[in-house]
Structure 1
């Protein structure tokens, strides 16, 4: 206690002195900020589903990020702990406790330099996106250096070098990049329009351990893009080209006789004004799998590789489909098919082609369809296909056509209607029609589904509400029919609770007609949130922003803690 008082005494005297001398300017010691996040789960046995808890049934993923900034200088470090193991089906490289990322940066209005780990995206990300998503177990930061220079408000130039993070280590491939972005408004004296263009380069160097390799050890990729906005109209386009490289066979090893270049075209255009929005996106990708190492790393189970964990992937190719909030509409989700995959002589894919269309319309208040409070309608359509062309399994070869479509992968046609009935009642209805070619995408049966959901929210007060949702899926194959429901209660801005259940009642196997129930709640205070949940996890794909990871079937208790400071 005496030592503590002696330590506090100088601080107390200093505070008194500062209060009596307000005219003296305080020294700037900078600021510290960051956050902490913990995701833990206790895996339990589930006799009904014949599930046994894994070794180390209590597992936790933890992240502590601390940043320091003073003037133009900033630095940060992220410590990570996966103890005693990471959550199920996370990258095996995330194991134990260590330093995940660190950086130091100096920034002015025109210049920025970063050393250490950094995140970056060029254009749409089809060539390069280094990013983090803890829910998906993704952290593909680059370790090296980056320089950003803005000679004017209309020009931005970026140059970088690094190696991509993989677990607590980095990949063997060297990544080089350059990106440029130019705003041309002042050049053309636009007043009601906006025009910008950009160009990117990404190079991946990895030594090939053989004499006279069939391709260059440095794989070059280039991209060009344009964005134009005029009043309520907008249009953008991007074209990417990847130099020829060695492709992977069905076992995810290099086939030195199978060498192809890659390319991608992305178009987006639309119209937006009060009450109406139209957005269309078209994308064609051929052999656009771009890895920081040519060969995916085996994880030791004889089946999975680093690709299963979105590891060592340089490109960012999200699925351009609607991200549903319905539990049943997320059973059959689409993953973008950008890479070449020859599974067998009947299933040979070179990429994807397709698109998505969104239409939003608000019926005005006091009209026939708007009623007293107005009505919101959203229509979404998406369809995706293999590239048309000639395919040969052995020896592997393909010759695609740029236009047209091949075998259909997936489609999702849906309409959502939101209607406010009174000051306290809000309702919503959604219909979804899906086509999922599971035989080509995962292995299994072709599935066609029809899904309906209805929900109602009653607001007791501005911060207290209850939401009830019911949903049903009719499916003609695979797991067949499902039904589900959700109840959410928000007591105030601090406490919330929920319970939901989905049941595969139509499964042909009576032993698989199982309830997947979940119950939980959350507490929020300031920047801190604590959530607790008990229930069953349905095995399958879990997606965030169109990027997915596979999760196994499990039952247990989970807890999430997050805070910012």
Structure 2
């Protein structure tokens, strides 16, 4: 932390000076975020604190804008180490990213680090998520050109960030987005097309490879809206590339093209919404370096979402229930031949959401109306024929293979009065542990009830109770949450989930957590103490594994 303070001191002076010069059209903006954890011993769970028990992730971002020019950089400090199970490349401190940008109505040029996404991101997404320890910015150059209001063209070149360095692979990209609505003079419709190209060049080290050093990938997409209906479709193709074996080493086996199809369609109207998504992926792992960096015999850069070029989130409901997030699905987009009985080439499946609001004064709506949300998702291995020796597979386009995961749920929200609100959730999940991570498959049913009482517009209390019935693994769970918002500045909470049904009585553990937060303007300070359940922590369908731990967490964030 001392190193960070020394780095920030001169920057704060520069920032204040720049703000004084605001009359000359200089704008300074940015933010600071610090996440500190103090890991403690927990004899009840047999956990010993790490050698460096106090760790922190710190980020200071500052941007300077003058006329059409903007420059900025992000300083990062991980002291004495990054939080547990973050990318080991995040160690010490230094400048994480920097950039210089020029932009007007038609042209946008960036040199340095930049973030970008083509289409849905199945070929390219460079992004940052600090909670997951992800920063896959590209270092190089990007040019965005808008010849008209209906055409947007992007060209880029760069190397992907990994820790405080960049990956060996060189990334080339081109993207076009064209809106045809004005061309066809549509009045009630909107039509747009897109095309993307991404190339990754990396020298090949294995002898006689069955793939080229330059891997080319292409995508085409269409978006159409008519009145209350909408549809989008996207097809992605990746040239033949190396596949990682069970030791995450590249070889010449299973070298085939990859492809992905993503379809989304829906309907919206007053009180009703329907949204359905289908996705089929085969051999769509796309890395900026073909072979991951190894941390030890059991861990590699893949465990930290490092050097991943594309964005492949799990298309399932993102639950806010603690128990519904114990068995979470991760997208299965790569070829993975674990043994003779478990051979995977990708995934196929989808999800559908239906939202309906019973109107006020109706039989089911009552005085205030009633909101109902239904969600269903199912995901499977690709059907086809698989052979371990000699290495070969052939997939079928239609149909489904081994079931990976399913989640069927209903959510009912009902306002009881001006001050009382009640919510009810039911979730049925299937998690094929054997095919996803090893172990016995789990069938579970989860019920959650929640009530919220609003004292006034800024003061409220929320109480939640939940229960899981599971037939395998850790068996049954129970949980409860109490959350108190005193005003728009102070809030406090306590929650506990208890694995009372575990067959091993020594593992029947309470995972409790309590804390509070203070907000003032754009600044938030939060402190909590509790136990972290080991497993996957997910944000937007992308997950990071966290180990079991106990301790204090302090979070500070602000923007200016």
Which category describes the TM-score, using the shorter chain as reference length? over 0.9
Q: 1:160 aligns with which of 145, 156, 163?
A: 156
What is the SS of the residue equivalent to 1:505?
Answer: coil
The 5-angstrom pairing of residues 183-332 of structure 1 reads: 183-210=179-206, 212-299=208-295, 301-332=296-327
Distance in 1 of aligned mates of 2:227 and 2:268: 9
Q: Distance in 2 between matches of 1:294 and 1:216?
A: 12
- Contact 2:25/2:67, CA 8 A, preserved across alignment: no
Rounded Cα–Cα distance in structure 1 between residues aligned with 2:81 and 2:23: 44
Counterpart CA distance in 2 for 1:29 and 1:319 is: 44
- The answer as to 2:373 corresponding to 1:378 is yes
Question: Out of 544, 552, 556, which is 1:557 matched to?
Answer: 552
Aligned to 1:462: 457
CA contact (8 A) 2:206 2:251 kept: no
In 2, Cα distance between the equivalents of 1:435 and 1:143? 41
SS at match of 1:53: coil
Query: Which position in structure 1 is the counterpart of 2:331?
Result: 336
Structure 1: unaligned runs, 5 residues or longer: 1-10, 19-25
- Equivalent residue runs for 1:117-128 within 5 Å: 117-128=113-124
For 2:261 and 2:408, how far apart are their aligned partners in 1?
23
| Residue deviations 1:370-421 (CA, integer Å, cap 9, x gap) | 0000000000000000000000112321100000000000000000000000
Give the secondary-structure state (helix, strand or coil) at the position aligned to 2:44: helix
Q: Between Structure 1 and Structure 2, how many residues are aligned? A: 542
Q: Specify the alignment match of 2:65 in structure 1.
A: 69
Using the alignment, how far apart are the partners of 1:211 and 1:341 within structure 2?
A: 22
The offset of 1:28, in angstroms, is 1.3
Question: Does the 8 Å contact 2:221/2:234 carry over to 1?
Answer: yes
The alignment's C-alpha RMSD in Å is 1.2
**Deviation by residue 1:38-57 (Cα, 9 ceiling, x = unmatched):** 01100000001000000100
1:404 to 392, 399, 402: 399
State whether residues 171 and 201 of structure 2, in contact with CA within 8 Å, keep that contact through their aligned partners in structure 1: yes
For residues 492 and 391 of structure 2, what CA distance do their matches in structure 1 show? 54
The residue aligned with 1:524 is 519
Match of 2:427 in 1: 432
> 1:412-427 maps to which residues of 2 (within 5 A)?
412-427=407-422
Deviation at 1:147, TM superposition (A): 0.1
2:349 maps to 1:363: no
TM-score with structure 1 length normalisation? 0.95
TM-score (norm 2): 0.96
Q: Residue 509 of structure 1: CA displacement?
A: 0.0
Please report how far the alpha carbon of residue 209 of structure 1 lies from its aligned counterpart in structure 2 after TM superposition: 2.6
Q: Partners in 1 of 2:64 and 2:380 — Cα distance?
A: 48
Q: Are the aligned partners of 2:511 and 2:531 in contact in 1 as well (CA < 8 Å)?
A: yes
| Separation in structure 2 between the aligned mates of residue 199 and residue 221 of structure 1, nearest angstrom | 11
Q: CA separation of 1:463/1:27 partners in 2, compared to 1, >3 Å: closer, same or farther?
A: closer
Distance apart, 1:212 and its partner CA: 4.8
TM-fit CA distance, 1:257: 3.2
Partner residue in 2 for 1:478:
473
Structure 2 portions without partners, runs of 5+: 1-15
CA–CA distance in structure 2, aligned partners of residues 395 and 343 of structure 1 = 15
1:151 to 125, 132, 147: 147
- Do the aligned partners of 2:347 and 2:382 also contact (CA within 8 Å) in 1? yes
Question: 1:495 — aligned with what?
Answer: 490
Note the alpha carbon deviations across 1:520-554, whole angstroms, 9 max, x for none. Answer: 00000000000000000000000000000000000
Measured in 2, the distance between the counterparts of 1:535 and 1:315 equals 34
Deviation (angstroms), 1:244:
0.5
Shift in Å at residue 258 of structure 1? 2.8
Change (3 A) 1:511 1:212: closer
Equivalent residue number for residue 5 of structure 1: none
Take 2:253 and 2:426, find their aligned partners in 1: how far apart are those partners?
47
Which one of the candidate residues 508, 512, 517 is aligned to 1:513? Answer: 508
Instruction: Say which SS state the counterpart of residue 255 (structure 2) adopts.
Output: strand
User: Where has structure 1 moved over 6 Å in runs of 4 or more?
Assistant: none
Cα-to-partner distance string for 1:501-536 (whole Å, 9 max, x where unaligned)? 000000000000010000000000000000000000
Task: Decide which of 533, 538, 541 is 1:538's aligned counterpart.
Answer: 533
CA distance in 1, matches of 2:81, 2:298: 20
**C-alpha distance in 1 between matches for 2:312 and 2:92:** 30
Structure number with bigger Rg:
1
**Aligned match of 2:168 in 168, 172, 177?**
172
The whole-number CA distance in structure 2 between the counterparts of 1:398 and 1:168 is: 39
Partner of 1:138: 134
Q: Tell me the secondary structure at the aligned position of residue 302 of structure 2.
A: helix
Q: State the alpha-carbon separation in 1 of the partners of residues 388 and 71 from structure 2.
A: 51
Deviations 1:148-179 (A, max 9, x none): 00000000000000000000000000000000
- Please say if residues 113 and 138 of structure 2, whose CA atoms lie closer than 8 Å, have aligned partners that are also in contact: yes
Moved more, 387-396 or 44-53: 387-396
Partner residue in 2 for 1:6: none
Corresponding residue SS for 1:307: helix
What is the CA-CA distance between 1:274 and the residue it aligns to? 1.2
The aligned counterpart of 1:8 is none
| Deviation string, structure 1 residues 17-45 (Cα, Å, up to 9, x no partner) | x9xxxxxxx85141110000001100000
CA distance in 2, matches of 1:564, 1:548: 26
